[in-house]
Chain A
Amino acid sequence: MPARKTSALLPTAFSGLSDLVEGWALADSTARLEKRLTTPVAEIRAFYDRMLPCAAEALAYLAERQLGALTPQEEALLKLMLSLAEMGPAIEWYGTGAYPDAFDARRFPLVVTLPDNEAQGVAA
């Protein structure tokens, strides 16, 4: 087998989360919802439990950095945190992944999205 090219997926301090990047650093908000709707709750909980202990440190790290000017590693870390934001209520509110009387969230999609990694300017 050819040797795989290895390069850091996340900033060094967060390299312990690198195995999560492939499955949880996703394209956008819509992809994160789809992930939540199609992932067994045990798997969501495992992701949540891995991320939560690092979350405060990750946010402190990201708070020093600007949207639109992130390295690929920093962007991947942000995207993991955005997945944590999507999965948060699945665990913290519902425990079962979805509201017990869940309306299909695909029937209420985002039609205007907030980009993950673009400078947002300053409010007037």
Chain B
Amino acid sequence: MNERVAKSPQVTPANLTLKHPELGTGPVPARPYWDPAWYARELEAIFKRAWLCMGRVEQAKSPGDFFMKKLPTFDLSVLVVRGKDGELRAFHNVCKHRGNHVELREAGHCLGFTCPFHGWTYGLDGKLAAVPDEKGFHELDKKKLGLTQLPLEIWEGFVFINLNLKPHQTLKEFLGEHGADLEGYVFHRGTAIFEYEGVINTNWKCMVDSFCETYHVPVLHRHSIKDTLAGPDNPHGRLIDIRLKGPHRTQSVWGNMNYTPNPVQGLAFQYAPGPSVTSGVVDEHSVLPKGLNETRAPNWSIDVTAFFPNWIIVMGSGMYFTHQMWPLAANKVVWQMRGYLRPATNAAQRFGQENSMVELRDAVLEDCNTLERIQASLDQGLINEFIYHDHELALRHQYHVVKQWVEDYERSKST
């Protein structure tokens, strides 16, 4: 009798795709991953209509606090401001006079916004408050010349906006079950924040996919996280589970609970301000919501929830981080990775935090040359279709959701 096998947690069979017959099992066309014409349709149907995450409520805590979020896809800058009434509002950062940005700082505190071009001044509520030499204008209805306000809604402390001034769904409807099932996670405790940003020569959907399957972990990440998220009991990086609800998808990622950390890494785990992903520990602050490790698997490490279209949250029991992808072209994307660690309560925990920042960066950068090579192959017309493993179901799902959003939108316009 083989005791080791008997005690090993079972890996999930390759039957996930069959639970979603509407997604099929065949190859997926590669055109949407390189075609500029298709990309233009995605911008209209998806990025101008979906709810987009701008940041956290803590970035503008008090009346007069504001932060700016750049949307590289549209070369836009959105101002998120807390008004005197305590409400958060979002505005296009565009002066109604000649179109200059009214605020140039990335964050701060102010009584209002004064355009640095001619000095038009707006209140925290976006209303046009003052125009220098107002008498010099022939017709000026200040009431109609406030900053353009964008729909803003909040989910679990995350601030979302919609570029469509009349969104076809509320944020709650858009996030659906996926959002509801994650409510209660300790997002607000991750106050020690860092962020990396870069431009990768890849289609935005390939960048999303990069974090949505672990089939590649034992091979591509063989020097780094192979033994953490895969390991001898799960040699091919099978997922625990994958859940598809509406346009969003979550995968629960297997963790090797017998993982022996390297020396420096082990010290970092010991002094991390929250439990590490392979500790198997859920600390007293982390009552896991229903949607996190939904099957309550004991060998769980992280959940990766990809909120459509461009925002991924990777959640462990002690820290979380997000990826956001802002396409610049069919083959180019701005990628932002933001870590939310528990605050250090002593100087040694700063070392644990640094290890998280470094190992996370090192591991994700292992994917990037591969992504750029794939894009070159796509751009050269050398790949006509993608063939997906059962546990690459999230990639298949993304393809279908994108196609459905584009087609549904175009149909609604033509009727």
A residues apposed to B, CB below 8 Å? 29, 48, 52, 55-56, 59-67, 70, 74, 78, 81-82, 84-89, 91-94, 99-103, 105, 107-114, 116-117, 120-124
Contact = CB atoms under 8 A, between A and B. Distances in A.
B351 A111 contact: no
B345 interface: yes
Contact of A113 (B194, B268, B343, B346): B194
A64 B347 CA distance: 8
Given A52-B264, A62-B348, A103-B368, 8 more contacts: A29-B358, A59-B270, A82-B351, A85-B354, A89-B358, A108-B337, A112-B338, A121-B191
Interface of B: 188-200, 223-224, 262-265, 267-268, 270-271, 285, 335-338, 341-351, 353-355, 357-359, 361-362, 365-366, 368-370
A100 to B, nearest CB: 7
Given A92-B262, A94-B223, A111-B196, A103 B365 contact: yes
B350 A116 contact: yes
Contacts of B362: 89, 93, 99, 105
A84 B352 CA distance: 11
A86 B358 contact: yes
Nearest to A81: B351
B345 A55 contact: no
Contact of A67 (B188, B190, B194, B347): B347
A114 B353 contact: yes
Contact of B196 (A102, A110, A122): A110
B111 to A, nearest CB: 26
A55 B193 contact: no
B198 A108 contact: yes
Contact of B198 (A100, A109, A116, A122): A109
A67 B365 contact: no
Contact of B358 (A65, A88, A91): A88
Contacts of B359: 88-89
B193 A112 contact: yes
B276 to A, nearest CB: 14
Name which of B271, B338, B362 has the most chain A CB atoms within 10 A of its CB. Answer: B362
Contacts of A84: 264, 351
A123 B196 contact: no
12 contacts: A29-B357, A67-B344, A67-B346, A82-B350, A92-B262, A101-B370, A107-B199, A107-B200, A108-B365, A109-B198, A121-B343, A124-B191
A92 B265 contact: yes
B233 to A, nearest CB: 21
A41 B144 CA distance: 63
Contact of B223 (A62, A81, A100, A116): A100
Contacts of A67: 344, 346-347, 350
Given A94-B223, A101-B369, A108-B197, A78 B347 contact: yes
Contacts of A103: 365-366, 368-369
A66 B368 CA distance: 37
A101 B366 contact: yes
B124 to A, nearest CB: 24
Contacts of B361: 105, 108
